[in-house]
Chain A
Amino acid sequence: MERKEFLKRGFGSLLGIATVAPLVGGCSKTEVDPTTTTGTTTSTGSTNGSSSSNCSVTPSETEGPFPTKSPANFVRKDIRDDRTGVAFTVNITIKNASSSCAALSGALVDIWHCDKDGYYSEYGGSGMQSVNLTTVDFLRGRQTTDANGLVSFTSIFPGWYSGRAPHIHVHIYNSSGKSLLVTQIAFPYDITNTVYTTAQSYGYTKGAQDTKNENDNVFSDGFTTELATVAGSLSGGYTLTHTIVVNA
């Protein structure tokens, strides 16, 4: 067994022994969660040891590193993970209709879209399967708008899947997490058609999309305010620019 593993598993390494408090009795717990009584306030600690069915050895050491606050996995600017494709930058500006379309700072913006082949990140099925610690959750991200109402993501140009025009999902929240708007961003057809019909060497091998914005069941009721500006090239990557107006 390697030394690192040996230490991790704690077979009485010198370091480990040094942290173990002296045992008072053979079966005493070496550390108990405190039951604090101050004035009239009682804070009850662990109930471990209260019965024969609730009786397990209390860990004698600090449980790993002291935990630190950790943001959700998808709080990130670069949402690619292991996905490849044509380089794509998403710039979304959030404005507030309640203040004459001034920029809305401090809003949380979630985006998610499919990969070049039209697949979304796995949703974990029924919730019964276990997943590995290193599991990736691709093409989903969250950023907070800056003073200009802008969020920016680094991604790959989305592909398409049957029955839908290409799109990006967007969910905008205020700073406390209250939902302000759920919407989708549509793409100009000339750009997506160029990518889907000429970017085979980047892995876009499905050919032209089967659904245009006009025929899409989400966008067909009018998509002028949902249509993004997209500019760029296959080699240089594309940049999407879009403004979304919410009531905050």
Chain B
Amino acid sequence: MRQGLQFDDAGRLRHLLTIEGLSRQTILEILDTAESFLSVGEREIKKIPLLRGKTAVNLFFESSTRTRTTFEIAAKRLSADVINLNVSASSTSKGETLLDTIRNLEAMHTDLFVVRHNESGAAHLIARHVPPHVHIINAGDGRHAHPTQGLLDMFTIRRHKGAFEKLKVAIVGDILHSRVARSQIHALTALGVSELRVVAPKTLLPMAVEKLGVRPYADMEEGLDGVDVVMMLRLQRERMQGALIPSEQEYFNLYGLTPAKLACAAKDAIVMHPGPMNRGLEIDSTVADGPQSVILPQVTYGIAVRMAVMALIMGGSAEPAGGRR
């Protein structure tokens, strides 16, 4: 049942809503496909005709620059027609429901919706109500999932660290409110890393977080001890409001990634961040711009990974564009 919604009757990936439920094999297939798309961005003519004649709508109910742009570039490199819609400002403020918005756009013969929404479960809701030929990619729903971010993080780790089985990974920061963290956790668990830790004060960890297969640490130096990958999360500056943390300064003292804290990790550990970064809040600039940082490559890989996901869900391998419906 859990796998049901993302897969068609033949068991092929039809939507990408969450990494949870994807097999190791499926994840690796996406990463391998992304690997083959990586070179497209380096060509003089950065386009392949895989999705020619298809219409993709970037439907963002929540603002975003990086994610929306990389999705747009990815779709354009696959030759799809792309429309960007920032809905927060238009329909919903007029009282139109989420499903009404989708139905209207569907009536314009959209093939793919890339959806970001501030409510957990929004992408699932949409996927449940679109006809079979329409595909959904979740570009972030509330605190729930951001699967393409999780996948591009895996792509980054594989490129820089090789096989997953031997790796110790720590995710640091506001796990409670983070869809990125949840997607990373599901991906890393499916790929079988040797150890997965989360580092945060209890106020920023979900209750029962161990049930997700991670080990919680309140002490950052302990949590980073010997890890190969440090994945930082963005801290929303308004978190003081809910009495979750006392001050930005105290947070930085305890959980900001400084060179001293990074020294607890393995010597060749890589540092990742999904962006946008709060320099001096969760990460020190010397680390963000330092030799162990792979934060900018993450963005580059993001395009290839999103191309791979679009290609896979919209028609398997390299079939002629417009062939399937």
Same complex for A and B? Answer: no
| Chain A residues with a Cβ under 8 A of chain B | none
| Chain B residues with a Cβ under 8 A of chain A | none
